[in-house]
Amino acid sequence: MELILLIIYSLIVWFIFFKKKWLPWNITSQVIVVTIPLFMLAVIILFMNIVAPSSHDVRAMNYTIPIVPRVAGQVTEVPIEPNRPIKKGDVLFKIDPVPFEAAEKAAAATLQGAKDSLENAANKKASLTPRIDLAKKRVEQFTALAATGAGKRADLEQAQSDLGNLESEFLAADATESQAKAQIKKSEADLINAKYDLEGTTYFAPANGRVTNLALRPGVRATTVTANAVMSFIEEDDPWILAFYHQNELRYVEPGNEAEIYLKTYPDRIIKCKVDSIMWATAQGQMPISGWVGTTSVLGLADDRLAVRLLVGPKDRDLFLAAGAVGAGAIYTEHVKFLHIIRKVFVRVSTKMDWFVFKLH
């Protein structure tokens, strides 16, 4: 764009000083002719960097999920290949389900046994209730007869003994019923855990994406150790586009501003975006809280740039953006919009340079 402006300016100078000779071509005019474009070009670039800031560091990033099996066991099937597109819900791998199926059956049998015990205890209590009522009446009757001398003391004692035995059986049945209820709750929880573990023998893709660092093959024993992820899953549904700017470039940038980026993976293609947010934080903004005095050394600290998250527009939303793709771009604020045209020309000229590969080997 600067070259185009210089060519236009040169034509104007040629027309005024050489074609029409309206002004003399001397040392004074020559100095003015050279100074004006340099000054104007500097002013344009300085203002353009404020109202339409550009970034040479634009990155495409994706969530990377370390896949760790929920249960440990021998892998029986790995139906995927690394670096191939995978749809959400596709099977990533399977673990031998036999021990987990056995655990589920055992939990189900224990639960059924507890339910049977509860039913038996409830039936026994139901059968004892009328017998206890009858025994109580007999005790009352024998008590009345013994008081009048018409009944035997031994019959009263026998009736009281029978009532005590029946009440003891009722209490035992009631205790068995309480234990059965507790056992049912525990068995239901065990059955849920067993089913959960059984479901964990088949691992599904959590989203659309690709797998890298695949360390599984049939016959390998997978473990639940977090540090031993069996593969890395890279999501592709919602990539993060981050453009990094120096802090004084973002004074007019706001969410919703138009943005354009270009990536080296797609030479000569402009990707339309919108500003989502500015991440107002850097590594320099934190200091470890400890018993040691915080250091102010610049060693190991990142630069003063801030990340701006960009959202890809509807037209390019289905475009595959590889995690780690890099490029450049610009943001167009709501100020001095006529300078946006110059920036857009810069962007379009720059992306054409990505067609060339400069190396000698």
Strand order in the sheet with 202-204: 202-204, 91-95, 73-77, 221-222
Burial (CB count <10 Å: 0-12, 13-18, 19+), residue 95: buried
Confidence of residue 355 (pLDDT cuts 50, 70, 90): confident
Per-residue model confidence as pLDDT tens digits over 31-62: 888 888 788 878 888 889 999 999 999 999 98
pLDDT at 95 over 80: yes
Per-residue model confidence as pLDDT tens digits over 249-308: 999 999 999 999 999 999 989 999 999 999 988 777 766 666 665 555 544 445 678 999
**Residue 31: its pLDDT value, please?**
84
0.85 exceeded by the pTM? no
**Residue 289: its pLDDT value, please?**
62
The DSSP element (H or E) to which 59 belongs, if any, is strand 54-61
Of residues 147 and 224, more confidently modeled: 224
- The pLDDT of 97-124, averaged and rounded, is 93
77: amino acid identity, one letter: E
pLDDT at 155 over 80: no
Report the chain's mean pLDDT, rounded to a whole number: 87
